[in-house]
Amino acid sequence: MSKIAMKTPLVEMDGDEMTRIVWQQIKDILLLPYIDLKTEYYDLGLEYRNETNDQVTIDSANATKKYGVAVKCATITPNAARMTEYNLKEMWKSPNATIRAILDGTVFRTPIIVKGIPPYVQKWKKPISIARHAYGDIYKSTELRVPGGSKAEIVVTAPDGTETRALIHDFKTDGIVQGMHNIDKSIEGFARSCFDYALDTGMDLWFSSKDTISKTYDHRFKDIFADIFENEYKERFEKAGIEYFYTLIDDAVARVIRSEGGFIWACKNYDGDVMSDMVSNAYGSLAMMTSVLVSPDGIYEYEAAHGTVQRHYYDYLKGVPARINPVATIFAWTGALKKRGELDDIPELSAFAEKLEKACIDTIESGVMTKDLCIISELENKTQVDTEGFLKAIASRL
């Protein structure tokens, strides 16, 4: 059998611990036998990040800008314990934060749904993708405690020195105050990423905020989305047969719970933080959640939503074979390969990725699965396999 050829390399970002082991297994068992895989390889494993003073992370993000599509393995975000474990020179920043700062953009999280693992919300039949704005608001705010008798104001100093003042509160007794901001350009990027992703996936887009209470701040988000939609996307949405609408966050929450799924829910930074945890838990498994960073200029970085599965890695080092669920990592690869196939006009590559996704789902629905799913699956006949056994079962279906 001849292998599928590629034109442009994928940016491959290797990672840490259990997911690094499984990364190689996925390539060996599911990709290399079928694809003449072209990648530009960056080792984002913590040891090499430390050796290069984290330059490798920056280089991988710049390569992603150059080529347009990346696939990333989960990586360790160092904390105090990792400083000693890996003898680090510095507590390096989270690679995801570094990459996001260079590419800018929005993170979309989508569950992979299979028969036998029903969501906790019974009406949900299709996935709900959460799009979280990843800049500003309370994550870049300034806060103070205020003693009673103080007056708190907002002061904005214009380039010419003129000051605009607005009273926050006249404190009779002790209290607290917070100042936060966002930037039109970042909100515009967020909006475009969401509209592009909706066109890409053929799903409706919902956007929610609290503009009835926040009449200037949240209203600005609503207006920017509306303007960009009217001027740049409306016709394309009509052609694609999909819909965009804005609604209050309270109404959105009610509609989401009553819906069948199958749409993208765009949220402001805090709402997205909270709602993505709620939605992903309601779908049943972190190991079945994919994640993609989409930049405003159409650059894509695919990964699994879970981490490096540290606990299992220590078992693995003691000789226990890998048992983790590789599905979200496989879908990171298929997402990236599909996108590369689409951009380079290689339909066989996209078709292969589709078939691989289907083989994963069919394998689980036939009852063959890793332990994490076996515990929650409602299927009657189940066979529990380790990671390699599962990958081989997928390969035989493929």
- String marking each residue 83-112 x if it binds ligand NAP according to CB under 6 A: -------------x----------------
The tokens of 319 are what? 């000789």
Cβ-closest residue to ligand NAP?
307
Residue numbers 15-54 binding ligand NAP by CB under 6 A: none
Among 6, 30, 74, 224, which residue interacts with ligand NAP (rule: CB under 6 A)? 74
Spatial contact of 60 and 31, defined as CB atoms under 8 Å apart: no
User: Which of 69, 107 has the CB closer to Mg ion?
Assistant: 107
**Residue nearer to ligand NAP on the CB measure, 109 or 340:** 109
The helix or strand, by DSSP H or E, that contains position 168, with its residue range, turns out to be strand 163-170
**Binding to ligand NAP by residue 309, rule CB under 6 A?**
yes
Least Cα distance to 34 among 71, 70, 6, 68 occurs for: 6
Contact yes or no for 284/376 (Cβ under 8 A)? yes
CA quadruple 233, 238, 242, 243: dihedral sign: positive
Q: Find the shortest distance in angstroms from Cβ 64 to ligand NAP.
A: 15
- Residue 280 CA to residue 290 CA, distance in Å, equals 10
d(CA 124, CA 117): 12
- Number of chain positions touching ligand NAP (CB under 6 A): 17
The Cα 337–Cα 334 span in angstroms is 5
Could you tell me the smallest distance in angstroms from the CB atom of residue 330 to ligand NAP?
Answer: 10
Task: Rule CB under 6 A: choose which of 39, 201, 276, 308 binds ligand NAP.
Answer: 308
- Does 325 help bind ligand NAP (rule: CB under 6 A)? yes
Closest CA to 75 of 370, 337, 332, 350: 332
Euclidean distance between CA atoms 138 and 378, whole angstroms = 41
Q: Does 266 bind ligand NAP (CB under 6 A)?
A: no
Nearest residue (CB) to Mg ion, 64 versus 269: 269
DSSP structure string for 104-142: --EEEEEEPP-TT---SSTT--S-EEEEEE-SSGGGG-E
**How far is 26 from 29, CA to CA, in rounded Å?**
5
d(CA 96, CA 109): 14
Considering the complex, state which of residue 59 and residue 273 has its C-beta at the smaller distance from Mg ion: 273
CB 302 → ligand NAP: shortest distance, Å? Answer: 11
- Told to check if 311 binds ligand NAP by CB under 6 A, we report yes
306 binds ligand NAP per the rule CB under 6 A: yes
The answer to whether 287 contacts ligand NAP (rule: CB under 6 A) is yes
201 binds ligand NAP (CB under 6 A): no
Instruction: Indicate the residue among 253 and 361 with the shorter CB distance to ligand NAP.
Output: 361
- 286 sits near ligand NAP (criterion: CB under 6 A): yes
Nearest to ligand NAP of 104, 218 (CB atom)? 104
DSSP code at position 241: T
Using CB under 5 A, pick the residue from 40, 204, 223, 273 that binds Mg ion.
273
Residue with the CB atom nearest Mg ion in the bound state = 273
Distance in angstroms (rounded) separating the CA atoms of residues 184 and 191: 10
149 Rama sector, left if φ>0, alpha if ψ -120 to 50, beta otherwise: left
Binding residue for ligand NAP, selected from 8, 62, 77, 366, defined by CB under 6 A? 77
Q: Does 365 bind Mg ion (CB under 5 A)?
A: no
Chain residues binding Mg ion by CB under 5 A are: 273
Chain residues binding ligand NAP by CB under 6 A are: 74-77, 96, 286-287, 303, 306-311, 324-325, 372
